[in-house]
Structure 1
């Protein structure tokens, strides 16, 4: 039984999701206390409960203490089974965070799986769907499996109501080296909104273009049906030969369109001015598959506390350590080793 203090390191829901995912892959039980102990509202929220329920549903696992608001659970993993699964967060909680929990074990299942996830697809507390589809999954597919994603309906905070579908054809994970992102192919951006004034998106486009210096036709506006809102997100995308980086900025009450756009644009500018393969979101996501592949390396910008906490949990379950070595260029080389 692996015992984990959920307030360690970054102290968020990642500790819980990574533990459940790796428990299913390695067959090791775990007990976690003080779940999300460093959050303003500690304990399990709806999306965290759904993540653990999903982990149990794709296997013969049991979980003691599972409930909204609880701060301690004991998880005993069972055999993972391929199949057709439908999981509803029930709020604007992130569908992508539920996917993070069940995808790694289903990559090792005995057959293909189809997953339908309902809830938030564009949530400020998690990577948006677009990142999962165009940044993360292409790397997973390069490692051996075949995973495709389809967005059926957008779901913004606070309404939710989004829906995505994932098809998974498992295959052994092959280690890869991702040190060079290659040449820049294209850049583009979209200010997406639903149920809000058009001028908000226009102001975001103008402000982002000013920071990045991109051509006028590189960043556009997309209006979604009003019943999919209210919601707003600015998506900035840079496609390289080997990887696509997506930076997002989420609209919320009290946050000016110009400030949202400048923050997102400066994050993208910082990434493009570096030599890193992975931005901070992608670096977080690559740790588990690289460990399960038995090694590999990638370059990234300065690793977040989120990434370092994830690396600590991975080591508890797999014995694999991650090294974060800063280079003279300023980028970090992240390596998985025993």
Structure 2
């Protein structure tokens, strides 16, 4: 059994999700102590419990310590069974993070699967649906499988109530190189809101316009049905030939619209000023499929603690190293060996 200290590295829920995915793929059981040990509220939260439940369900697994607030978790995998599954987080917990837990095992399961995930689709501390659908999944599909995700209903924090559907046509993962992003094709900036005053989104867009200097026609505001709120997100998107980067800023109490937009614009400007293929969040997501493919290379901005922790968990299960090398340009090259 692989023993993991959940307070190591970034000390968050990513350790739980990656360990579950790798356990299902390799058949190796694991135990995590000090679950989410570096978070202000340690232990499993509702979305982590749902993610582990999802892994246990698709893999006929057995689990001890699976409860909200639990600081220890033991997981023993069975055989992954493809099929149709529905998982509801029950709060605004992230559907994207539940998907992250079960996607790779189902991609390698040998027959198609369909997932219905209910909960949060646009909430803090997790990639929004738009990032999953337009940034991450296109790269996964280049590796062999076909994964199609559809947003049925938005779910903002704290209400939740969103729904996504995901169809998975499996295939062996093949290594790919993601080094050059290619020519810029388009840009867009969208402020979405529900159950909030229009001027919140309007102020976000005004600030983003001023800071990014993008053409006037790429900025837009979209109002969603009031019952899907309250909620607000600013999505900045830059589409290149080989990759699309999406930066998001989530509205939250006490954070002025201008400050939210300023942070998002600074992150997008930093990405555009670099020559990296992957932004920090895409880099996090690419490590697991690359390792399962047995190799691959991509360039990214400065690796986050999330990425370094993910690399450590991958090495424990697969024995494959993710090597980070800083290039003269300041970009980092990541290679799975």
TM-score, normalisation: structure 1: 0.99
> Where does residue 57 of structure 1 map in the other structure?
57
| C-alpha displacement of 1:60 | 1.3
SS of equivalent to 1:180: coil
SS of equivalent to 2:316: helix
Matches of 1:175 and 1:69, distance apart in 2: 38
Matches of 2:128 and 2:139, distance apart in 1: 17
Matches of 1:227 and 1:220, distance apart in 2: 21
Alignment of 1:231-246 (within 5 A): 231-246=231-246
| C-alpha displacement of 1:110 | 2.4
> Where does residue 100 of structure 1 map in the other structure?
100
SS of equivalent to 1:210: helix
SS of equivalent to 2:99: helix
Alignment of 1:1-338 (within 5 A): 1-337=1-337
Question: How far does the alpha carbon of each residue in 1:188-236 deviate from its partner, in whole angstroms, 9 at most, with x for none?
Answer: 0100000000011110001001111011111100000000000000000
Deviation >2 Å, runs of 4+: none
| C-alpha displacement of 1:125 | 1.0
CA RMSD of superposed structures (Å): 0.4
Matches of 1:211 and 1:217, distance apart in 2: 15
Query: Which sections of structure 2, spanning at least 5 residues, go unmatched?
Result: none
Matches of 1:23 and 1:46, distance apart in 2: 21
Query: Which sections of structure 1, spanning at least 5 residues, go unmatched?
Result: none
Contact 2:110 2:171 (C-alpha < 8 Å) held by counterparts: no
| C-alpha displacement of 1:257 | 0.4
Matches of 1:218 and 1:254, distance apart in 2: 28
Matches of 1:198 and 1:74, distance apart in 2: 47
Query: How many residue pairs end up in the alignment?
Result: 337
SS of equivalent to 2:308: helix
Matches of 2:252 and 2:115, distance apart in 1: 30
TM-score, normalisation: structure 2: 1.00
Matches of 2:190 and 2:80, distance apart in 1: 38
Matches of 1:196 and 1:245, distance apart in 2: 27
Matches of 1:159 and 1:321, distance apart in 2: 40
Question: How far does the alpha carbon of each residue in 1:219-276 deviate from its partner, in whole angstroms, 9 at most, with x for none?
Answer: 1000000000000000000000000000000000110000100110110000001000
Matches of 1:266 and 1:220, distance apart in 2: 19
Question: How far does the alpha carbon of each residue in 1:133-185 deviate from its partner, in whole angstroms, 9 at most, with x for none?
Answer: 00000000000000000000000000000000000000000100011000000
Matches of 1:80 and 1:298, distance apart in 2: 29
